[in-house]
A and B are shown apart, each in its own frame.
Chain A
Amino acid sequence: MSVTAAPRPATADDTAEPAVTTHPTAGAAGVAFEPLLIGFTCNWCSYRAADLAGTARIKYPPNVRLVRLMCAGRLDPTFVLKAFAGGADGVMVTGCWPGDCHYREQNFKGLRRFLLLRRVIAALGIEPARLQLVWASAAEGDRLAHEIGRIVEEVRALGPLKADERLAEPATPVAAVEAAT
């Protein structure tokens, strides 16, 4: 029996398990829906803009969780899909204004990935407005705060994403499917 499978050791795929669980208030009875937003921010501009908003005491909604990247060009589409799969209702990507990139033109790479991602998530039934790109320089704390507020409200209007709703359902009798249509 020595060939019998031992428990599978951890692989790279295991780390793909969503770190974020479904938003605690999503769909809970009697609780208003608060969208969960993941923001991927550039180290050289918008992450500092968020810092600036903080030091200037500019308020923005607490719905966003910021993740610092070195550049918008570092945005791997995997990050965005993992956020959606893990329970985020929206994703914000930020970068330096065109022409201002710390790495010359890598923010355009981020722009191209963002535009391609929007097409793919739309084809998979996720409203394109759930993924938004914002340019904000390190000096634009007020602009970043305003944009976060705008995106949170747009995602709130779209409602919860509930990406994994049906994965655990049992098999459906065909007759029941017929009755439902």
Chain B
Amino acid sequence: MTAIPVPETVPARPMPAPAATRHRFAMYWAAACGGCDIAVLNVDGVLPLVDEHFEVVFWPAVMDAKYADLEAVPDASIDITLFSGSIRNSENEALARLLRRKSRLLVAFGSCAGEGCIPGLANLSPTAAILDASYEGPGVDNPDHLLPQAVWQAPEGELDLPLLSPLLRTLDQVVPVDYSVPGCPPESARIAEVLALVVEALEGRAELPPVGSILGAGHSTVCDECPRTRGVKHITSFRRIQDVVSIDPDLCLLEQGIPCNGPATRDGCAARCPLVGAPCIGCYGPADGVVDYGARLMSAFASVVEAQEPAEIERILDGIADPVGQFYRFSLARSLLGASRAAKIGSVPAGLPPMEGAAT
């Protein structure tokens, strides 16, 4: 495991004297699946570190806490907050702002907070279509066509529910973020590295990299970590992994026609998926220098397609069954376009075919 490189140009950050008590820690889940919390709870690697060095102030996944308790702690009194999940509704946004205020270091933890991740694919659909799919869609038994209401008068008083945001946003699209830790979820060993670095920094024995840095990952691509043999690629057809009878155990998956997102994806996971014959799907997000993850990947895929006739190129491209899912599975909310036009204007533009994969 390589140490996280600390650039020599880091501005000097005087660290506080060793604290008499443990450092204060919080973790929150906004629009997330809880996998990031599980990754931190992974007893083998990370939890002992949290327990040894941190006092947990607020962590809804593992202990009871009320938002009022969090509001009551002094501003900037939490040393580090790991914020997992993206901003889907007004509750997520309020907690993002509250935790920003209460935290000295706010970390966008995991792909949802950093890039939108799978929940970000909701940015393909207008709000009304999302609600329709959730409350009227296949498998939903809702004979009275009930929808969640923002405000409800109950006998005991007025109740309210969070408001759905028109578009899903990443944490740093809502509040300033100090660091990001990519991954879906981040690898436990990398989380341990990050927490160890933070402890060292809080105790004045190390310096943190410049604000805005990515922690717990490398600076290159998954391909650089992947032990598979890479040659000159000539793709004459793309194949979905379930259609491949046997996978060459040593050859680059993309070279075998299996769409693998390694060329655009940040390293840090030790190429876990390609190692076991599954293509990289891009959970560690864009590599250094990549402005738009999908664009980088489109560039890489189109370059190795072995055809010059438009009809033949189209036939090969037909093998990528779901282009947005392939190129933006984790990064749609953080991409240059950020969302489909339908989601932005609230309905499907006239004259366009229904979008594949999106709720309509």
**A, B from the same assembly:** yes
A126-B341 CB under 8 A given contacts A112-B303, A120-B294: yes
Closest chain A residue, CB of each to CB of B343: A166
Contact A174 B202 (CB under 8 A): no
User: Which residues of chain B come closer than 8 Å to A127, judged between CB atoms?
Assistant: 349, 351-352
Task: Compute how far the CA of A40 lies from the CA of B341 in the bound complex, rounded to whole angstroms.
Answer: 23
Assess whether A19 is interfacial by the CB under 8 Å rule. no
Bound-complex Cα distance A84 to B292 (A): 13
A174 cross-chain contacts in B, Cβ below 8 A: 131, 147-150, 161, 163-164
1/0 contact trace for A156-181 toward B, CB 8 Å? Answer: 00000111111101011111111011
A6 to B212 alpha-carbon distance, docked (Å)? 10
CB-based A-B contact count at 8 angstroms: 205
A176 to B165, CA, bound (A): 12
B298 cross-chain contacts in A, Cβ below 8 A:
77, 113, 116-117, 120
Residues on B with beta carbons closer than 8 Å to the beta carbon of A109: 302-303
Q: Which of chain A's residues 77-129 have a Cβ closer than 8 Å to chain B?
A: 77-78, 80-82, 84-85, 98, 105, 108-109, 111-113, 115-117, 119-120, 122-127
B274–chain A nearest beta-carbon distance, Å: 22
Q: How far is the CB of A85 from chain B (nearest CB, A)?
A: 4
* Contacts A167-B344, A169-B166, A171-B164; A8 near B303 (Cβ below 8 A): no
Contact of A5 with B106 in the complex, beta carbons under 8 Å:
yes
Residues of A within 8 A of B127 (CB): 172, 177
A166 to B147, CA, bound (A): 23
- Nearest to A173 among chain B residues (CB) is B150
B342 contacts the other chain (CB 8 A): yes
Could you tell me how many residues of chain A have their Cβ less than 8 Å away from some Cβ of chain B?
Answer: 59
Does B73 count as interface, using CB distance less than 8 angstroms? no
- Is A9 engaged at the interface, CB distance under 8 Å to the other chain? yes
Q: Is the CB of A123 within 8 A of B149?
A: no
Judging by beta carbons under 8 Å apart, are B301 and A116 in contact? yes
Interface residues on chain B, number (Cβ under 8 Å): 82
Check: B279 CB closer than 8 A to any chain A CB: no
Q: What chain A residues lie within 8 Å of B299 (beta carbons)?
A: 76-78, 113
Query: Do B356 and A123 touch (CB < 8 A)?
Result: yes
Contact of B341 among A80, A119, A163, A178 (CB under 8 A): A163
Inter-chain contact A125/B355, CB cutoff 8 Å: yes
Residue among A122, A125, A172 with most chain B CB within 10 A: A125
CB proximity of B202 to chain A, nearest CB, Å: 6
- Confirm or deny: A16 has a beta carbon within 8 angstroms of a beta carbon on chain B: yes
CB contacts under 8 Å to A, within B274-298, are 288-289, 291-292, 294-296, 298
**Nearest chain A residue, comparing its CB with the CB of B89:** A171
With A8-B211, A171-B163 as contacts: A123 and B355 at CB distance below 8 Å: yes
Q: How many Å from the CB of B91 to the closest CB on chain A? A: 10
A8-B177, A123-B355 are known; give 5 further A-B pairs, CB within 8 A. A77-B292, A85-B337, A119-B323, A166-B345, A167-B344
| Selected A-B contacts with CB under 8 Å, 30 pairs | A2-B14, A4-B104, A5-B104, A5-B176, A7-B176, A8-B177, A8-B178, A12-B288, A16-B291, A77-B298, A78-B295, A78-B299, A81-B292, A116-B302, A119-B317, A120-B294, A124-B337, A124-B339, A124-B340, A125-B344, A126-B341, A162-B345, A165-B344, A166-B346, A172-B166, A174-B147, A174-B148, A174-B164, A175-B149, A178-B131
The 6 closest A-B pairs by CB, nearest first: A125-B341, A171-B163, A173-B150, A77-B295, A112-B302, A78-B295
